[in-house]
Chain A
């Protein structure tokens, strides 16, 4: 992810980088979300985890893995590509479409937990809800995110939050995961060095 454009053009200032979660922190946070899911869903029965690409996909798999470690429950995992449902398609060059993979049992009548790395404006989740609507009819939908950085533009909230990070709009949050990026880390790129 590129740096956000500087809020003011001058004077040029060094953008600050701050590690919010280190590798061990990320693993602890994922464990905690897994526990919360088990608690809130009373054992994760009749539940499906759907990762939103790119980094929601490995997160969903990790959560399923932790849940099965903690309680010996196999939670089906799938992928929900939301590209064709985005509301900003026309603002960018055409985006490549990724695969949507629903688990063999499908999602009808299930409790679907959408999984993503960062919750920001809420627009991605809005697109995911639309996409979900076209592929089936879940009994209920919940949302799990690694980081909530605020600044919602839609009436959307997460059911499970790994860490709330207060940010300014000039800042950006970047999540890296071992499966994709080689390391687990959450960094805050600053417009205002604190």
Chain B
């Protein structure tokens, strides 16, 4: 078993499948009267969050608590800006407290990799800068498998601000490992250079959403920050929505069985219309539910045994 989960690329197909299978068992716990398992009794999980992300933090917190781990929430927001305690000093503090795992959210790409050098426990990347968010990719894969029955051979369009998206990077890596075909769609300004070579050969790029939609099983809409238009990535929110937003007519171009995903939080009216977000094709609420199961599986597989 791997020691850390830093990147979607850390997982080979067998390990990724084991996580998804384990998550499926963990999901049954959610349906029980007693939503608790003793597997991580006596383990300490620290949520080290340098960015506000209530949804990700409570998802990890619920996952750890359902496995009976002790959870410490450490909100370090702003300390990088104010030149407070360094990440290394914080790491040494967590180490001294006996953290078995540190779940880290950080605005700087690669911060979890640095942290992994400084603590003995497992490090779980809960989103680093514009780099990766591997548990999001796992819950997305879990959701696709649950809805469509398989991952191998699926055609997945990831639409929007790929350049700044940690969700997109992790999804491209993980979905490719699991045999799905990914097409990245967005304005050329928001598609990073050399994406196929950088992440996974076979990854396609398209600038035309309408031509992609009829041929996909999954369309995953990424959040687009309105601030991006102040940096000339696109002229206006209206033009962006017109060219790359998913609305009702576009949704009806999808095959009958295709699903619509969004990692949240959504900009309704920007990348996705309320009609689409609230349609039966949308898996947005399931993604949140599945997030807890997948994170339980990750924490169990990292901490459940003697993997030192």
Contacts and interface: CB of A to CB of B under 8 A. Distances in A.
Direct contact of A and B (CB under 8 A): yes
A92 B300 contact: no
Contact of A96 (B18, B26, B34, B67): B18
16 contacts: A83-B39, A85-B38, A90-B305, A90-B306, A92-B305, A93-B1, A93-B305, A93-B307, A94-B1, A94-B302, A94-B307, A95-B304, A95-B305, A97-B21, A97-B300, A99-B25
A186 to B, nearest CB: 29
Interface of A: 81, 83-85, 89-100, 130, 133-135
Q: Identify the 10 closest CB pairs spanning chains A and B, nearest first.
A: A94-B305, A84-B39, A94-B304, A84-B37, A93-B305, A134-B34, A97-B25, A97-B22, A94-B1, A90-B306
Interface string B1-44: 10000000000000000100110011010001010111100000
B301 A94 contact: yes
Interface residues of B, number: 21
B25 A81 contact: yes
Nearest to A98: B25
B138 to A, nearest CB: 15
Contacts of B34: 133-134
A90 B37 CA distance: 15
A113 B249 CA distance: 57
Given A94-B307, A100-B28, A89 B39 contact: yes
Nearest to A96: B18
Given A84-B39, A90-B306, A97-B22, 10 more contacts: A81-B25, A83-B39, A84-B304, A89-B305, A92-B305, A93-B307, A94-B300, A96-B21, A99-B25, A100-B28
A135 B38 contact: no
Nearest to A94: B305
B285 to A, nearest CB: 25
A85 B38 CA distance: 6
Contacts of B302: 94
Nearest to B305: A94
